[in-house]
Structures are given as C-alpha cells and as structure tokens.
Amino acid sequence: MLSILSPAKTLDFNSENKLTQFSTPQHLEEAKIISQILKKKSEKKLKTLFKVSDKIAQENYERFQNWSEDFKLENSKQAILAYNGYVFENLQSDSFSEKDLKFAQDNLRILDAFYGILKPLDLIQPYRLEMQTSLKVKRKSLYEFWRVKFTQNLNDELAKHTNRVLLNLASGEYFKTIDTKKFQHKILNLAFKEEKEGKLKVVAVFAKMARGQMVNFIVKNKIDQVEKLKEFEASGYKFQAKLSTESEFVFVRKS
C-alpha cells in the first residue's frame, strides 16, 4: 500500500533540524529544467504568475536565484519536515521514530509540481509552485509535463508492494496529475466529512487536518492492510460502512 499526499505552500526552513538522514529527489533533472525557467522571470512576472503580493514575489524571486543543484543539509531540508501546512502539522513527523521514518520512506509519496514525486526524506530547497500554475515546460502544462512520469513511477513503485493499493490522500489538484486510465493498480480514496444537523459536508481545513492524522495513524501503526484503515478514529472521525464503497472509504465526525 502506497499513500500519496499533496505538498504545502507554506514552508518551514527556520526551525532547527536535528534529522541527519536524507535522500535525494529522483526527478532532479526535471526540477533543474523548471528552475531554469523560473530563474529567468522577474519579480513582476512571478507576481503575475503566482498571483501573489509584492513581498511573496520578491521572496520567491530570491529563492529561485539562490536555488542550487547541490543539495545538502546546509541549504535544504527533508520534505516531510519542510512542508508546514495543515496536513503536515497534523502528520507530526517530528514525533517519528527511526522505524516510523523508514516505514514512511517506503510507503509515502508527495506529489509536487517542482520536484516531482518526493519521498519523505528527500531534500528540498525553498520554492513556490503549484500544479495549477500556468507555467509552460517544454510547451506543456505542469499537468502534461508530469502526468506520464507520475503514472509510470507510481505503477512501478506499487508493483514492488505486497498489497498494491494506492491510497489517495492528495487534493484533487494533484491527484489529477495521475492518468487513472493507465494506472494498473487499485486506487482507494479517503473522504473526511462533518455531520451537522443530519447533513454531511466536507470542510477543506478539517479534511486537510484529517489527512495528516491518517498518515500519522498509518505510519505509527505500520499499516499495510486496507481493512485496518477502518480503525482510524482520530479527532472523533469514524468509518462509515454504509457511505463507503470499494473505491472510497468515508469517515464522519459529528459536530
């Protein structure tokens, strides 16, 4: 079983990093190509491209100018520690033991618009790039640029697993980078919903938190069986058999 996550826009490169284990991103050649394109853009063009403030445009202009092909702990950080959004805060990777990190490294992947498919311990440098950004790479959108690579890579990765299930904990923006028609293994989506006054709805922020908590649950318990996912009860969520199907497990929390 292989879990996939989306990256986070917010990054933490300021807090102390005591973790010395690391790996190198497998799609560095592609990242170099994207870096060269972004390095040529002015602050003004980055502001328009990313639809951000002057401050964020300036920050990312400097990031791309300083981006280096030489990845080391002095200028980089492990992806699972560098990302700092709701998902990763609730994932609580700073509490992982060595065995937890090994399990995560083997069973968790992050789909990224800049670095491609990342393992948790892959080093990354500060950047900003969303999959939906209107950036052309070799005359292709980011979705088109990555689709074949993502699909083939995840197919190959899962072929090495005993239980060949792709556990989708990524957002729609990143999941659609995978060509499901050419994907050879089972895909299981996880949905986290809130129940209020008898009505169910997905609250984006809460769903992101739950995704992180689910990954923490999987890693801490070394889960590799789909049935075991039904035991997840963090933050009051409970598996709902009547709402679930073979392709989607639904977890509901009562407000």
pLDDT band at 105 (very low <50, low <70, confident <90, very high): very high
Mean pLDDT, range 102-124, rounded to an integer:
98
Q: How far apart are CA 3 and CA 26, in angstroms?
A: 17
Mean pLDDT, range 166-183, rounded to an integer:
98
Using the predicted structure, report yes or no on whether residue 165 has a pLDDT greater than 90. yes
Provide the pLDDT for residue 223.
Answer: 98
Residue type, 81: L
Q: How far apart are CA 169 and CA 5, in angstroms?
A: 5
Residue with tokens 């990342």: 118
Q: How far apart are CA 120 and CA 147, in angstroms?
A: 21
Provide the pLDDT for residue 255.
Answer: 80
Mean pLDDT, range 35-40, rounded to an integer:
98
pLDDT tens, 196-249? 999 999 999 999 999 999 999 999 999 999 999 999 999 999 999 999 999 999
State the residue range of the domain holding 164.
2-254
Mean pLDDT, range 55-82, rounded to an integer:
96
pLDDT tens, 46-64? 999 999 999 999 999 999 9
- 3-class state of residue 82 by DSSP: helix
| Mean pLDDT over the full length of the chain | 97
Residue with tokens 């933050």: 235
Residue with tokens 């058999």: 241
Provide the pLDDT for residue 200.
Answer: 97
* Domain count along the chain: 1
Name the percent of the chain lying above pLDDT 70: 100
pLDDT band at 251 (very low <50, low <70, confident <90, very high): very high
